[in-house]
Amino acid sequence: LRRDIESRIHQLMTASTERSEGDAGQSLLDLVPGVDAVISVVALEGADAALLRAMGVVEGQPARVLRRAPFGGPLHVRVGEASFALGRPLAAAVMVASSPAGAGLGSGEATPAAAGKVG
């Protein structure tokens, strides 16, 4: 029995390590505070998705976790030009990729349809 539990723990630990190392599966919740990243997907639906989108938490925005409130409290996150307090369930749904070199302020959301018609 003991060996069984140990192997399970090992499994879980390696799984979580793999998850935090793999770019595609990493969320804001997994992101180490102070590390720059770019939002890849916001995996939410309905009103939550609409609100985050309107607030400016959208794909393509540079993101960085500034701090986490203790005891499972919210995350303080900088996204683009603004900073937000995001509850953990929301932060867990905001997937990020590691920041490409040179990405920072001003790298924006791409809307091909609009790009040509501006002005």
Strands (E), 1-119: 36-42, 62-68, 75-79, 82-86, 94-98
Q: Phi then psi for 30, rounded to 5 degrees?
A: -85, -15
Site for other proteins in 19-78 (CB under 8 A): 46-48, 50-56, 60-61, 66-67, 69-74, 76
Q: Which stretch binds other proteins (CB under 8 A): 6-14, 19-27, 33-41, 109-117?
A: 109-117
Q: Can you tell me the distance from the alpha carbon of 118 to that of 43, in angstroms, rounded to the nearest whole number? A: 29
Q: Which is nearer to other proteins, 15 or 51 (CB)?
A: 51
Strand-pair partners of 62:
38
* Piece of the chain touching other proteins by CB under 8 A; list 1-9, 12-20, 31-39, 82-90: 82-90
Binding residues for other proteins, rule: CB under 8 A, are: 46-48, 50-56, 60-61, 66-67, 69-74, 76, 80-90, 105-111, 113-115, 117-119
